[in-house]
A = this chain, B = another copy of it.
Amino acid sequence: SHHNPLKKSNYSGRGMTLEQDIDETNTYYLHQGVAVIHKKPTPIQVVHVDYPKRSAAVIREAYYKQASTTDYNGVFQGAYIDFEAKETRNKTSFPLKNVHEHQIEHMRQVLTQSGICFFLIRFQPADEVYLLEAHHVIKYYDEQQRKSIPKKDIEQYGHTVKTGLHPRIDFLKTVKQLYF
């Protein structure tokens, strides 16, 4: 998220966050005519705006709001695509503390409408990206005892996403294998 981006510090030293890599991937998909997927703007509660003469309105007081849905959505060959990107410095599990109730609720609603819905999870230490379908995350979330998903479970139920330069994180290749 914009508040506290976890920087990736891998061998290549590019220092890109997962969201930056996904944004570049989506730009690649868009330019290649593969899919139309955008990051949703960060929701901001505007409290006070100045309207100076002869120049643009200036927002002088505003606050970040918690997102009520997921990070990304769009369309791929007619199908609705909706996902959340998360990265962790953790080596052995994906903590669920940063997954909010309303995001889970949104994912339930999307699945009810037959949308394609998943998490992209990057384990920073190993520099690995997994696609984990939403229904798995929902299951772990609903088991109240669970505070995290073990990495070995993500390796078992999730799908490794191919990473590279163009595109950086080829998640639609995985989506195609799973859903088409």
Contacts and interface: CB of A to CB of B under 8 A. Distances in A.
Contact of A80 (B33, B74, B109): B74
Interface string A55-78: 011111111100011000111111
Contacts of A106: 36
Contact of A57 (B35, B64, B79, B115): B64
A44 to B, nearest CB: 5
12 contacts: A36-B106, A36-B109, A38-B69, A41-B42, A44-B46, A56-B63, A56-B64, A58-B63, A59-B62, A73-B74, A75-B80, A78-B115
Tallying the copies of this chain within the complex gives 2
Interface in A74-102: 74-82
A165 B125 CA distance: 54
B44 A78 contact: no
Interface string A125-163: 000000000000000000000000000000000000000
B44 A75 contact: no
Interface residues of A, number: 40
Contacts of A41: 40-44
Interface of A: 3, 30, 33, 35-36, 38, 40-44, 46, 56-64, 68-69, 73-82, 106, 109-110, 112-115
Contacts of A77: 113-114
